[in-house]
Chain A
C-alpha cells in the first residue's frame, strides 16, 4: 500500500517540523548589547547601545494574525490612465491575499472622499473587485481626508488582536485639506498612539516625500517610493507580506541608564529622553525580523578590570501568538581594559556595523537639509566625509561585516555624487528619502 506509506512518512516529517518549531519559543527575542563591551580605561568616551527585538517565526500559514486594513487610493486627475489601472490591479491582488478572518475597506479620494468598500470581512472578493474597478480618476487630492476616512473604517473593527493598518497610495501633492508635513506627522502620531499604522506609497515623481515619510514615520508604518506603476503590485505584496506576518504589537522599549551614564542621542528611530530614561515605541514587529533602537551613550571613565552596570532594558509588548501582554528584561554591562587589543577583540561587529550605518544615515539627512537650502557643495562634503567615516569603520572592523560596510560606503559615495550631479533631483530625492526611511525603521523592503 504505497499511498498509506507515503502518508505516514509525510506525517512523520510534518511532525518533526511542528516539533521543531514549537520547541522554538513563541516570543520576541530581546537583545541589548554594546558595540564596544570593553572600553579603554581611564577616559570618558561614547559607546553605541543597540537594543534589538526579533520577531519569532510564525508556526503555520493559517496561523497568522488577522488583519484590519484600509486601502486608501488616490484617484485624482493625475492618476488617469495606466497609473490608476496598475493601482487597481495592485489593490485587487492585495485583497486576494486576505481571507474571511480579515477586514478590508477601500477608500478613494480626489477632491472629496468616497468610501467605495466600507470595512467588511473579506468574504465576497468579487464584489470588492467590482467596486475597485469602478474607480475613475478626476479632480484634486484630498489626501488628509482620505487617510482620515480610511482610519475611521479601520476603527470600526479596531481590535488589539488584529493588525490595524491604513495603506495610502498617492501620486501627487495634497492640495485639498491640511497639507503640511507637520500636520500629516501629527495625524500619524495620533493614529500611531491609537494602534493604527499608516503605510505610504508614493507613486511617480509628483508626490511630497516629506509629507509621506512623516505620516508613515510617526505612525510606524512603512514607506516606499515607486517610480514605475508596474512595480505597484510588487510593493503591495511586500506590504501585505509584512502586515500578515505581524507577531507583536504595541511594543514599548524603556532603557534606564545607570548612574553616571549619559544619553547622547538616538539614532534612527525616534524616542523620548528624560534624564537617564529613554523610551521608544514600535507599533508592530514582523515575523523573523529584527528592529532596533540605537542609542549613543557617554560612558564615564573607569579603572582597568572594572565592570560597570550600564543600563537596564525593559520591553513590554502584545504577543499576537497568544494575545498576552508580555515583558522582557535585559541588562548591559561594560568593562574597562587598558589593553587596546582587548578592546579591539571585544568589538561586536554587527552592532558597530549598524551603528555606523545609522550615523551615516544621520549624515545623509543633514546633507539633504543642506541640499534643500541650496548648499549643494556643503551637502556633498557632508556625504563625502560620511563615506570616508564608513570606510574607516569598515577597515577597523574587517571580516564579513567590514566588507559589507565597505560596499555600503560606495552607496554613500553615489549619494554624494547625486546631490550635485543628479539630472532628476526630484526623483533622486524621493529615492534617497525612501532609503533613509528604510534604514531608520529597518523596513524589510
Chain B
C-alpha cells in the first residue's frame, strides 16, 4: 500500500515530465538545427569574404604590374600567397615563364599543360565547365567562375593535383593579356586557420572542423575532444573551395539540458518527499504494532499468572458446593462465585489464545451436547438480563475437531450477545450439517452492526464506537480470536445480515486435517 502510494504519483509525474521534455525536445531540436545551420553559414561566409578580399586585392594591383620576366620574378618572390605565375598574351600564348626557366618553373609549366593547350579552359563559364568536369576522367579537373569589371575580367580556377585542391587566380586585362597566379594552398589553409576562432579555454559546447577535398582535417576548434563520432551537421564550402567541407560537432541535446535539469530536480525532490512520508507512516504503524504487541504480551503474562489462583478458586468452590448444606442462600452465593470464576477463566483463555499460538488437539466431538453445555453455562447470565434462548440443534453426529477451540468460539459469541445484545431479549442458536460443513449460527436481536463496521469487527482491539459499547467493558479481541480459531479449525467465522440484530455463522469442516 505504502509502496503504491509512492510509486503511483511518481509514475504519473515521470510520465508527465517525459511528455513535456518530448515536446520541448522537438522544439529545441528545430531551434538548435537552425543555430547549427547559422553557425556553419557564418564560418563559410567569413571564408568567402577572405577569398573575395584576396581577389579584390589582386585585381587592384595586377593592372600595375610590369610584364617583363625579370620583374615578374621579382613580384613572385614578394607575393606571399603566390607560388608561381604565368602571363599569356592576347593571343593566348604563354610569354612567361618561357625560355630560360628555373626547375620550379619548368614543373609549373608541365602541370598546367592543359591551360597552354587551351587557355579558354580558364575563362570557361560554369555550365560548360561542369560538362568538362563530367567528362574528365583524369584527376586533373578545372572549373572557373568569371567576374567582369571595367578593369578586366578575373576569376578563380580550381585544380586538383598534388596535395589536393589548388587555386588559380587569373586576371585578363582589357588589352587582352592574362596574368595567372598559382596560389600557395598551404598558405590559404594557414590564413583560414588564422581567421577561424582559437580554442577558447572554456568550450562552448560545440566544435567545428574544416576538411579538405581528401577528407583530411585542416583545422578544428571548440570542444577539445572529438572522437570518432559522426558530425551533427556538415556542409560544403562555397565556390571555389567547394570540395572542402565544414563539420559541426556537439552533443545532440545541448540546450535542453537546463530544462531537463530543473525537471529532474523537481522529480527527485518529489520522490524524496513521498519516500519520506512513506517512511514516517511506516514507522508510526510499526510503533503502534509494537506497542500493541507489548500490551498483548503483558496481558498474556498477567493472565497466565492469574490462571493458577483461579483454578484453585474454582476447585475449592466446587469442593465447598459438595459439602454445603441445602441452604439456598449459600447455594446461590456459591453459584455466583462459580459462574464468575468460569467467566474469568474464559477471559484468560481468550487472552492466552491471542498472545500465543495454541496447540490443537483433535478428537471426536458430539457438537449438540457441547452447545447445550455451553448454553447452560451462560444461562444464569442470560436469565439475569432476561434473554430467552431458542435452540435449534440439528447436528446430531460426531465431528472431528478441537472441542476446546470450538467451545471458546461459542463462548465468545455468546458472551458478546450477553454484553451487547441484551436488549434484544432473545438469542437463536442453531446447528446443522450443510454440504460437509458443520454450521453453527448465533443470532441475536439487538442493535446489530452497521454495514460500514462489519469488516472492522474482526480486527483486534477494535470496538464499535457507539452507544452499544458504552459502559461495557471488553478486551476488543473476542471476535478476532474467534475468527482465528475458526481458521485454525479449517473453517471460518462470518457475519451475516439479520434484522434486527446480528447473526454470526461459524462454519468448520467435519474432519480437521491439522
Contacts and interface: CB of A to CB of B under 8 A. Distances in A.
A364 to B, nearest CB: 21
A144 B81 contact: no
Which of B69, B73, B162, B219 is most buried by chain A, counting CB atoms within 10 A of its CB? B219
A4 to B, nearest CB: 57
Contacts of A149: 193-194, 198
A180 interface: yes
B187 A190 contact: yes
B270 to A, nearest CB: 41
Interface in B90-106: 100-102, 104
Contact of A178 (B69, B79, B100, B189): B189
A186 B193 contact: no
B475 interface: no
A186 B78 contact: no
B194 A148 contact: yes
A142 B220 contact: yes
B184 A186 contact: yes
A113 to B, nearest CB: 6
A184 B77 CA distance: 18
Interface in B114-163: 162-163
Given A142-B219, A186-B184, A193 B77 contact: yes
A151 B216 contact: no
A110 B216 contact: no
Interface in A215-233: none
A144 B190 contact: yes
A187 B81 CA distance: 9
A92 interface: no
Interface in A278-306: 279, 281
Interface in B161-192: 162-163, 184-187, 189-191
Given A152-B194, A183-B163, A190-B186, A178 B218 contact: yes
Nearest to A155: B194
A187 B102 contact: no
Nearest to A152: B194
Contacts of B184: 186, 189-190
Given A193-B78, A274-B73, A184 B221 contact: no
Given A112-B222, A149-B193, A187-B186, A274 B77 contact: no
A26 interface: no
A179 to B, nearest CB: 8
A392 B199 CA distance: 58
A60 B373 CA distance: 137
Interface in A106-142: 110-115, 138-139, 142
B198 A114 contact: yes
A151 B194 contact: yes
Given A178-B216, A190-B187, A274 B100 contact: yes
Interface string B65-95: 0000100010001111101000000000000
Given A182-B163, A186-B186, A190-B80, A274 B101 contact: yes
B79 to A, nearest CB: 7
A186 B224 contact: no
Contacts of B224: 110-112, 138-139
A272 interface: yes
B167 to A, nearest CB: 13
Interface string A171-207: 0000011101011101101110110000000000000
B217 A177 contact: yes
B83 A275 contact: no
A137 to B, nearest CB: 12
B198 A113 contact: yes
Does more than half of chain B's interface fall in helix, strand or loop, or is it mixed?
mixed
Nearest to B190: A148
B201 interface: yes
A417 B306 CA distance: 115
Contacts of A180: 163
B17 to A, nearest CB: 37
Interface string B341-362: 0000000000000000000000
B79 A193 contact: yes
Given A110-B224, A187-B187, A190-B187, A176 B217 contact: yes
A222 B78 CA distance: 22
B1 interface: no
A370 interface: no
Given A111-B220, A149-B194, A178-B218, A184 B199 contact: no
Interface in A144-164: 144-145, 147-149, 151-152, 155
Nearest to B196: A145
A273 interface: yes
In this complex, the interface size class of chain A, counting residues with CB under 8 Å from chain B, is 35 or more
B225 interface: yes
Contacts of A275: 100
Interface in A259-283: 272-275, 279, 281
Which of B189, B194, B199, B225 is most buried by chain A, counting CB atoms within 10 A of its CB? B199
A178 B186 contact: yes
A144 B83 contact: no
Contacts of A182: 162-163
A112 B249 CA distance: 14
B249 to A, nearest CB: 12
Contacts of B193: 113, 144-145, 148-149, 177
B221 A273 contact: no
B161 to A, nearest CB: 12
Nearest to B69: A274
B220 A112 contact: yes
A149 B197 CA distance: 10
A189 B185 CA distance: 12
Contacts of B163: 178, 180, 182-183
Which of A145, A152, A176, A191 is most buried by chain B, counting CB atoms within 10 A of its CB? A145
B190 A184 contact: no
A39 to B, nearest CB: 26
B225 A111 contact: yes
Contacts of A191: 80
Which of B102, B186, B194, B222 is most buried by chain A, counting CB atoms within 10 A of its CB? B186
B77 A281 contact: yes
Contact of B186 (A112, A176, A183, A281): A183
A330 to B, nearest CB: 21
Contact of A194 (B80, B198, B221): B80
Contact of B190 (A110, A142, A187, A273): A187
B222 to A, nearest CB: 7
Given A111-B225, A144-B193, A149-B194, A186 B217 contact: no
Contacts of B83: 186, 189
A189 B81 CA distance: 10
Interface in A7-35: none
B219 A145 contact: yes
Nearest to A107: B198
List the 6 closest pairs (A to B, CB-CB), nearest first.
A186-B186, A112-B199, A152-B194, A148-B190, A190-B187, A148-B193
15 contacts: A111-B220, A115-B198, A138-B224, A144-B186, A144-B189, A176-B217, A177-B189, A178-B218, A182-B163, A183-B185, A186-B83, A193-B78, A274-B73, A279-B73, A281-B77
Given A115-B198, A178-B189, A178-B216, 19 more contacts: A111-B220, A111-B226, A112-B222, A113-B193, A114-B201, A145-B193, A148-B190, A149-B194, A155-B194, A178-B186, A183-B186, A189-B184, A190-B80, A190-B184, A193-B79, A194-B80, A272-B73, A274-B73, A275-B100
